[in-house]
Amino acid sequence: MNITGKNKIIQIKGLIFDYVQDETGETKRAVNDVTFDIERGSFTAIIGQNGSGKSTLAKSMNALLIPTEGTVIVNGYDTTDEEHLWDVRQSAGMVFQNPDNQIVSSIVEDDVAFGPENLGIDPEVIRQRVDTALESVRMGKYKKKAPHMLSGGQKQRIAIAGVVAMKPQCIIFDEPTAMLDPKGRKDIMRIIHDLNAEGITAILITHFMEEAANADRIIIMNKGKAVMDGTPREVFMDRDRLVSLSLDVPLAVELRHGLAARGIDLSDDIVTEEELVEAVCRYM
C-alpha cells in the first residue's frame, strides 16, 4: 500500500526496535519510541555515541531492519510490507561504513552496474547510468580498474556511485567517512553535498561534528531516543547539553567559547570554521 506523504520522503512514528541478544531470547532496546519526518531534498545529520541507536535507525529507514513496534514509511511505502520491499530500497539507497561490504565485482563499472541490472533496467540505460554515476563521484577514469587496487576513499566513491546508479530519491550514509583519512573524509563530504544540491535527500549518520555542521538539520540520538532536533545553530548553541551527553562540539564552537572566556566576544551562532574565520577578521 502506498501512503501519500506529500513532501515527506521518510515518516517515522513511534519506532521501537529490540535486538534479541542471545539464545535465551532476552532483548535489548536499541531504538525507543522515535518519531520524526524527513523532508524531500533536505540534508539531515544524525549524531550519537556508539550504542546510541543511530545505525539501527539508519537500517530501519532502508528496511534492513523491521520495526518491533511503530512504523517507518519510505516514499509512501511501509517497510513492513514485503510486497514493496524493493520499492523502499530503491527509494532510499544506503552507503555503509566499510565500502568492501558493498563492492561485489572485480571491475569498477561492473560493480556500479550491479544494482541497476538487478532492477531489470535496459542495458543501454544502465551504461548511461554507470557513466553518469561515476562522473558524479569523480571516478570516471577508473571504470576499467579493479576495486581492490583503489584507496579506501576511492572505494567509498565507487560504493556511492553504485547507489547513485539506482537513482534513489534518498541516500542514507551510515558513517561513510569513519575509515578514511582527513582528505578522504573531505572528498566524500563534498560528494554528499553535491548530490544533495542535485535534489537527492541526504541522511548522514556520523560522529564527526564538523560534518554535521553544514547539514540543514541535526538529530541527536542517546540511549535509543532522539533527544535533540534542530538546525546546527540551534543544536550547537546548547553546548552544555552536548557535553552532558558526552558529545564533542565543532572546533569552531569550542574556539568561540575559548575566545569569549578571554574577553573576545564573537557572534554566538558561529558553528563552522569559515564563519569563525570571518568573525575573527571582522573583530580584528
Alpha-carbon gap, residue 51 to 57, rounded angstroms: 11
In a domain, 176, yes or no: yes
pLDDT greater than 90 at residue 268:
no
Structurally, the chain folds into a number of domains equal to 1
Q: For 145-203, how does the pLDDT look when each residue is reduced to its tens digit (9 = 90+)?
A: 999 999 999 999 999 999 999 999 999 999 999 889 989 999 999 999 999 999 999 99
User: Is 261 a member of any domain?
Assistant: no
Residue of higher predicted confidence among 165 and 21: 165
Question: Considering the domain boundaries, does residue 2 fall inside one?
Answer: no
pLDDT tens-digit map of 209-258 = 889 988 999 999 999 999 999 999 899 888 889 889 988 887 888 888 78
Is 128 inside a domain boundary? Answer: yes
CATH of the domain at 210: 3.40.50.300
CA 63 to CA 80: how far, in whole Å?
Answer: 8
Question: Does 249 fall in a domain?
Answer: no
Q: Provide the residue range defining the domain that includes 100.
A: 41-61+78-232
Question: pLDDT tens for residues 101-140?
Answer: 889 999 999 999 999 998 889 999 999 999 999 999 999 9
**Strand arrangement of the beta sheet that strand 217-222 belongs to:** 92-95, 170-174, 201-206, 43-47, 217-222, 225-230
Cell numbers for 179, please give them: 575509515
pLDDT at 4 over 50: no
- Residue 266 predicted with pLDDT over 80: no
| pLDDT for the residue 155 | 94
For residues 51 and 207, the answer to whether their CB atoms sit within 8 Å is no
pLDDT band at 15 (very low <50, low <70, confident <90, very high): very high
Q: Does the residue 188 lie in any domain?
A: yes
Q: How far apart are CA 223 and CA 245, in angstroms?
A: 10
Task: Report helix, strand or coil for 178.
Answer: coil
Tell me the pLDDT band of 74, cut-offs 50, 70 and 90: very high
Residue 149 lies in a domain: yes
Instruction: Cell numbers for 190, please give them.
Output: 563534498
Q: Is residue 278 part of a domain?
A: no
* pLDDT (mean) for 5-22: 89
